[in-house]
Chain A
């Protein structure tokens, strides 16, 4: 049912000898919600700007509907953008901001300039303002609007042109948490209703998981993994993806046979296969996949070193033979207690070794990391 709409073919972007995008290959299907996810500075915006036409890749090709569009300027692409800081025109009111694209004469098949009739402009703008819940705001100055309202003007201004693709660069970054959740639903609804391809940029993994059909995880100018939210979460391709999407304990292991993985010199049953015999691997164990059991029934035994109450669950840090795990559980185990744990075969996810091996997935410095995260929520500015 789906067909390819945009293709980036071996796109590389170099800024003053800095390789910002390294040989990116990406297919975007018609009408899908695709998210570029990655830490700040990984090249998400640059990728978006290449699609929008604001940047030419240093090498590589961009295709739209099968046609190479490398040198097509932004104003001739059937693509519109919601900019990171909205970029509303301060000299125009809400209505005129939304009408901006409609008022620009289009060239028809015979090369003649055609202007949309005023009634059509009016009805399309009003229709769009209704979609984004801004009816009655037509005459307002954009500078007098709240962040969320400006956001919606920016979305209306882009969508009113009926683009095939909408590009959104961290559109919710400046909004507070509650508003952000509402807008996520709102955007998803609009995308479904208008049947448009969305290419969405965020560094917020929860947002990406909640909204996307396809997630593209990026780091250091490279695509780390492309897949559905479930794939990305359940089958991360390397330690970076496992760590960036949700919490994970990542442990060195050895694949002894198909379905048998060894960690801490103990063999466990797992569902993964297709590795060499005795291949060194990274093993991901999600904190919620670990069950606490009485010591004598435990597959592994460890000591609780830290407990944090999280409302829905406790975050417990457990020391196993010098390696600290994060376990999320509803059963309280006090600090200092010795516990046993049990992991079902589907709780293991085995990954090939990568350049990220050994860099993530150890919770020895958990409290510091936690501080970082809570600070990160406070100031979302890049």
Chain B
């Protein structure tokens, strides 16, 4: 059966080869050559100037992933435990924003977070800003929300949260109810049932959620540019700049992409390993 149908995967294999493997090879070649076609390591050496962008990217991506996990796990858990009706409504609410264009979504956040945006207007009208001024003795017109790392993290969390919720939700939903009853039967109250059964058994979902949020977060562009307002440049923006922007240098851009890719892959491998270790740790 499997073998008879395996020819169906040929188009996909070819597709992957042309549009994934070949581009990576081209990038690899670019990253070790200079504009005049000579093999060189200077692209990698020159990257040191951007260390701060690397650190910021990974730091903000880790933050966004953590926030997604902290929000996403309880939501996923509740969805899986509540009745069908709640599940359907929650699923619709999660999916609805994804039907909107990504840039549109991010622009809306800009108008919410602006110095004169919805949030600051709200704060002003409920007197939060004057309260702040009277308490701290300062004299501000608005809270600086846009152009902060927080705004970038918010943008990433908003965009990538569904990728955390969905895998965790589906793992918890598939948990065999008799396992939970067995745990109760053996003396576990609801806290212990969660700690000793649900949590360890939902780790695979957590792991894939973390991967699905972290990878796009670390390579994010646009969000950081729009919500960070140029002060929060991330790797994605940096690379974009090398190919399309003023700093035109595809060789450097390729080199940065390669390094980022390697770091991400290493992170994923380590984390998956850690995940398995976790399972074994529970076992011991």
The residues of B that contact A81 with a CB separation of less than 8 Å are 181-182, 185
Q: A74 CA to B184 CA in the complex, in Å?
A: 6
The residues of B that contact A161 with a CB separation of less than 8 Å are 186-187
Interface of B, helix, strand, loop or mixed by DSSP: helix
B188 at interface by CB-CB < 8 Å:
yes
Q: Which of B184, B186, B200 contacts A73 (CB 8 A)?
A: B184
B189 at interface by CB-CB < 8 Å:
yes
The residues of A that contact B183 with a CB separation of less than 8 Å are 89, 100
Q: A74 CA to B182 CA in the complex, in Å?
A: 9
B186 A91 Cβ-Cβ under 8 A: no
Q: Which of B179, B185, B282 contacts A75 (CB 8 A)?
A: B185
Q: Which of B187, B200, B201 contacts A104 (CB 8 A)?
A: B187
B185 A80 Cβ-Cβ under 8 A: yes
B283 A91 Cβ-Cβ under 8 A: yes
Give the number of residue pairs across the A-B interface with Cβ within 8 Å: 68
Interface range on chain B: under 10, 10 to 19, 20 to 34, or 35 or more? 20 to 34
Q: A96 CA to B178 CA in the complex, in Å?
A: 18
The residues of B that contact A54 with a CB separation of less than 8 Å are 181, 184-185
The residues of A that contact B141 with a CB separation of less than 8 Å are none
Answer whether A92 and B185 are a contact pair too, CB < 8 Å, given A83-B178, A87-B179.
no
Answer whether A100 and B181 are a contact pair too, CB < 8 Å, given A91-B201, A93-B283.
no
A89 B182 Cβ-Cβ under 8 A: yes
Q: A170 CA to B155 CA in the complex, in Å?
A: 54
B196 at interface by CB-CB < 8 Å:
yes
- Which residues of B169-218 are within 8 A (CB) of A? 176, 178-179, 181-189, 192, 196-197, 200-201
Answer whether A89 and B179 are a contact pair too, CB < 8 Å, given A96-B283, A100-B196, A104-B192.
yes
A91 B282 Cβ-Cβ under 8 A: yes
B279 at interface by CB-CB < 8 Å:
yes
Q: A267 CA to B267 CA in the complex, in Å?
A: 91
Q: A125 CA to B186 CA in the complex, in Å?
A: 14
A91 B184 Cβ-Cβ under 8 A: no
Q: List 18 A-B contacts (CB under 8 A).
A: A73-B184, A73-B189, A74-B181, A75-B185, A75-B188, A80-B186, A81-B181, A83-B178, A83-B181, A83-B185, A84-B178, A87-B178, A87-B181, A90-B201, A91-B200, A100-B186, A100-B188, A158-B186
